[in-house]
Amino acid sequence: MKLRIGTFNLFQFVKPPYSWYIKKDHFTEEQWQEKSSWIKKQIQEMNCDIIGFQEVFSSDELEKLTKELGFNYFVAVDKAKLDKKNPNVFISTTVALASKYPILEIQKVLVHGKSILKHKFKGHFKFSRIPIKALIELPNKEKITVYVNHFKSNRLNEFEYIFNKNHTLEEKKEQSKEALENNYSKALKQRLCETSSLFYDFKKITTPIICVCDLNDKEFSLSIEALTNRAYHENKKKNSYLLHDAYYLYDKKIYNPHPEQKEIKRTPSSYYQGYGNVIDYIFVSKEFNKKEKGSIGKVNSYEIFDKHLQKNPHGSLLESDHAQIVCELEFN
């Protein structure tokens, strides 16, 4: 059996006459129809069985749209909030999950109190967007737990460090230490508390796990370490990952390679001020790592749907400012 799972940041999915954040930002009926049609077309091209969505304001409309495309199951565990002074303006957003297979159970992801204390978070902590945690039964009777997340963003902060694959966990911690201790990057601290809480929730799960997210942080970031790596939490030198970036678990094919090409460059999923970044991810547990003993499947492919960003890197409100990511898993 093959399973295709995707992540899709919809970029202000707000049905008129509602606005997002400020009154003047809203779609006309014609624009809304154009955006909805593009989303439908994109979902059809993704050809998924399960999709996690971010930037969902009008969840009822998204449920209707996905059910028209064969996704019989849909959940959103929170409602986008409206401004009390202007009931036509949304001031918060949510995530959602659509599935062609039965969603057996929805559970709340609890805030991990010790992680909040460890990161010295000041004030009352809550998730930027409440995560979705869903138990799904597949046609082969396998049960999987799917998480959908959209973590805290902050693009204009010099303390949002850029790391590469050669940086060790200790180097990442050391470079970020001053910013975290002095609250120079509140967004990074918020994100580390969010990802740490998810990590401790992963530890309780007995089924295979798939986590789709707009991480709002770059590849090799400290946020990924907090989300996936036991060593981050247990202060051990040896890395030990609960989840793996699915991008690195499939065998990439190089067509007409350049003689000097050493590796494939990863395609960005979002652009900011002319620079491309990978901020959308699909993480999977060890059961889908074919090199692990006792694996139940493997990652067949990891696709980036970014034709719209090739035309306009910053995206369009009538489309999206993110690429869509699809991972195909094949069970043994």
pLDDT digits (tens, 9 = 90+) for 186-201: 999 999 999 999 999 9
pLDDT digits (tens, 9 = 90+) for 47-81: 999 999 999 999 999 999 999 999 999 999 999 99
Is residue 157 over pLDDT 80? no
Task: Give residue 260's pLDDT.
Answer: 60
Task: Give residue 261's pLDDT.
Answer: 58
Average pLDDT of the segment spanning 159-163:
81
Average pLDDT, the chain: 94
pLDDT digits (tens, 9 = 90+) for 80-97: 999 999 999 999 999 999
Q: Whole-model pTM above 0.75?
A: yes
Which percentage of the chain shows pLDDT scores above 90?
A: 88
Average pLDDT of the segment spanning 208-232:
97
Which domains can be identified in the chain, with CATH numbers? 2-331 (3.60.10.10)
**Residue 17 binned pLDDT confidence (cut-offs 50, 70, 90):** very high
Is residue 134 over pLDDT 90? yes
Average pLDDT of the segment spanning 209-233:
97
Please write down the HEC assignment for all residues of the chain. Answer: CEEEEEEEEEEEECCCCCEECCCCCECCHHHHHHHHHHHHHHHHHHCCCEEEEEEECCHHHHHHHHHHCCCCEEECCCCCCECCCCCCEECCCEEEEEECCCEEEEECCCCCHHHHHHCCCCCCCCCCCCCEEEEEECCCCCEEEEEEEECCCCCCCCCCCCCCCCCCHHHHHHHHHHHHHCCCCHHHHHHHHHHHHHHHHHCCCCCCEEEEEECCCCCCCHHHHHHHEHHHHHCCCCCCECEEEHHHHCCCCCCCCCCCCCCCCCCCCEEECCEEECCEEEEEEHHHCCCCCCCCEEEEEEEEECHHHHHCCCCCCCCCCECEEEEEEEEC
